[in-house]
Structures are given as C-alpha cells and as structure tokens.
Amino acid sequence: MNNSSNADSQEGSTSAQKQKTANPSESRPFVLKKWNALAVWAWDVECDTCAICRVHLMEECLRCQSEPSAECYVVWGDCNHSFHHCCMTQWIRQNNRCPLCQKDWVVSRTSK
Amino acid sequence: MSNIAFNRLQRECKEVVTNSEISETGIMIEILNENLTEIKGHIRGPPDTPYAGGMFDLDIKIPDQYPFSPPNVKFSTKIWHPNVSSQTGVICLDILKDQWAASLTLRTVLLSIQALMCTPEPKDPQDAVVAKQYMEKPAVFKATAEYWTTKFAKGAVKNAGYQALVDKLKDMGVREEEAVSVLSCNNWDINRSTVYIFS
C-alpha cells in the first residue's frame, strides 16, 4: 500500500519537472538578452609618476619637454620602481641607488 | 636654475600649499623670489616637546642641480636643539647630506626636520654643548629649549627665573642674545657665565 503511494508521488513530481523544462521563460526570473562588456586598463607600473621629475611616466620628462630626446623611455629596476630613463641617468651619475627604496639600482627592463 | 628644477619646484610648492594634511602638521612655505631659488619654510613646534607653541622659520636655498642635489636648509629662528647649531642654525640631518634622494621633496624635508625636533639624536650632534646638556641634564635642557622657544619663536611658556638672569647680564652691558646664549651654554650658572663673558 505504502509502496504504491510512493510510486504515484514520484510520477507526479517527474511530470511537474517536465512541465517546468518545457516552458523555461516561465521558471526563470529574467532572461539575458544583451551584454555590453567594459574593459579597464592601466599602465603596468607600481606608481604612475616619476619620483624624480614628478611627471607622469607615460609623458616626456621635464627636461625632454623642453629639449625633445629619443632617450625618454621608462626604466624599471629590480626593485620594481620605475622612472624616466633620462631622469635616472642623471641620478645614477652621483648615486647608484634607487631614489625610493635605496636598494642598488639594477635595470630589469625598459619600455617605450 | 635648470628647467627641471624650476618645474619640479612649482609642482612641489603647489603640493605644500594645497595639501590640507600639511596645514594640520604646521608646515608652510613662502616663495621669496620668482625663480624659486630662495624659499622660506615655517614649521610649527611639535606638541609634547619643548618647542610646542613656537613657530620656527627656515631659510631654504635651492641649488641649480636640484633635485639631484639636496636643498640647503637652515633655521633662521634660533633654536636650542642638539642637531641644530645654536649660533648659525645649521642642521645636522642625513637626508640633507649623504642620504639625499631625488624623490624627496620640500614637504618631506620639512616633515623630517619636524620629526627631528621630536626626537633629537645627541650621538650625532651639530652643537656639542646642547647635546651634552641633553644627555647629562635633561631637565635643564627642557627648560632651556622652552625658554628659547618663548624668546625667539613666539612660544607661550614663560620662565621668570631665567629671564631674571638674562636681565642681570643685560644690566652689565651684555647684549640680550649673547646673554641668553652664554647662560644656556653654562647651564644657567650666572657666575660661570659672567666669568666666561668678562674673562
């Protein structure tokens, strides 16, 4: 007796599931019709300003703004601090340490 | 002055003037000439120090090689501090000498000097007499520094006892500034001070 009633209830539940899947728009609270993606980018630098001349790294340094030069690119040290190449060249003439963390300055990469 | 020095100083001056945190810490700058080679700095004496309530002026001279060379900074207001000459105002601070970095600014320099006022370094003194007093007679040092702050930096702490000793020497024909200086160096001993001046 019990077994047959269990079987009946199982049958009922499967038929309800079939009904739900048959009409998906009724069961979902909303349908995604359109999607606009937005990408955000940033320069791959820890700080975006050259600590020596206080100009944005992706702009020419103060000296090159008045006397343009092909040398004005960005240099990264092993310490991951970045500066304009011409600013750093002037600094290391007298002191071969990073102006921000005082570690020995070793160039790890450059970027135009 | 080089283009890089002038342009960077313009940015720095703007930073000091517009930063509200700086006005809270009591740091100000005053531009004395258009080419920014001479600047006047002002530091409010830090609270809980003998310099509290005083306003200290500094002369800042900017070299042509700035920011690759440090600015020349000295106190124009007389101050009783182990790392500042009580006579000339010259400051003994590593970042103004061999530890200068091109990333430092007028703001960081003035903040460092203010920090030095809070925590003197008597083991690396600029004025040996002051440093000796600081280590051997801290109570006398504190009272002397407070007196100098009141006398020269518009401080509020009055010391009638010290003023009476200064007046005694003034009555003997000694200039006030010299009287203050000699008494301070002699731990406010009027007899030793008199011998020092007149011998």
Considering only the beta carbons, identify the residue of A51, A62, A87 that sits closest to B7. Answer: A62
The per-residue b/e assignment along B139-161, b for 16 or more CB within 10 angstroms, e otherwise, is: eebebbbbbbbbbbbebeeebee
SS3 B74: strand
Pair type for strands B27-31 and A82-84 = unpaired
Residues of B in contact with A61 (CB under 8 A): 4
CB contact under 8 A, A52 and B3: no
Question: Residue A84 and residue A75: Cα distance in Å, rounded?
Answer: 6
CB contact under 8 A, A99 and B68: no
**DSSP 8-class letter at B95:** G
Question: Residue B139 and residue A35: Cα distance in Å, rounded?
Answer: 74
- Mapping DSSP onto H, E and C, the string for A48-95 reads CECCCCCCECCCCCHHHHHCCCCCCCEEEECCCCEEEHHHHHHHHCCC
Per-residue confidence in pLDDT tens, chain A, 112 aa: 455 555 555 555 555 555 555 566 567 687 888 878 888 867 565 567 888 888 878 777 876 877 666 667 888 898 888 898 888 888 988 788 799 898 889 888 787 5
**B2 CA to chain A: closest CA distance, Å?**
9
DSSP H/E element including B38: strand B38-44
pLDDT band (50, 70, 90) for residue B55: confident
Q: Right CATH number for B3-118 from 3.60.15.10, 3.40.718.10, 3.10.110.10, 3.40.960.10?
A: 3.10.110.10
- The answer to whether the beta carbons of residues B45 and B52 sit under 8 Å apart is yes
Q: For residue A95, give the chain B residue with the closest CA.
A: B101
Give per-residue pLDDT as tens, B158-192.
789 998 999 989 898 998 888 999 999 999 999 88
Mean per-residue pLDDT of chain B: 87
Tokens of B141: 């040092």
Domains in chain A, CATH or no CATH each:
62-111 (3.30.40.10)
CB contact under 8 A, A53 and B103: no
* Residues of B taking part in catalysis: 92
Residues of B in contact with A99 (CB under 8 A): 101-104
B145 to A44, A111, B93, B138: CA distances (angstroms): 50, 53, 19, 10
- Does A52 touch chain B if contact means CB atoms closer than 8 Å? yes
**A75 CA to chain B: closest CA distance, Å?**
15
Helices B160-171 and B190-198, axial angle in degrees (round to 10)? 30
Burial class (CB in 10 A: 0-12, 13-18, 19+), B65: middle
- Domain ranges within chain B, ordered by starting residue: 3-118, 128-198
pLDDT band (50, 70, 90) for residue B138: very high
- State residue A17's pLDDT score: 53
CB contact under 8 A, A102 and B101: yes
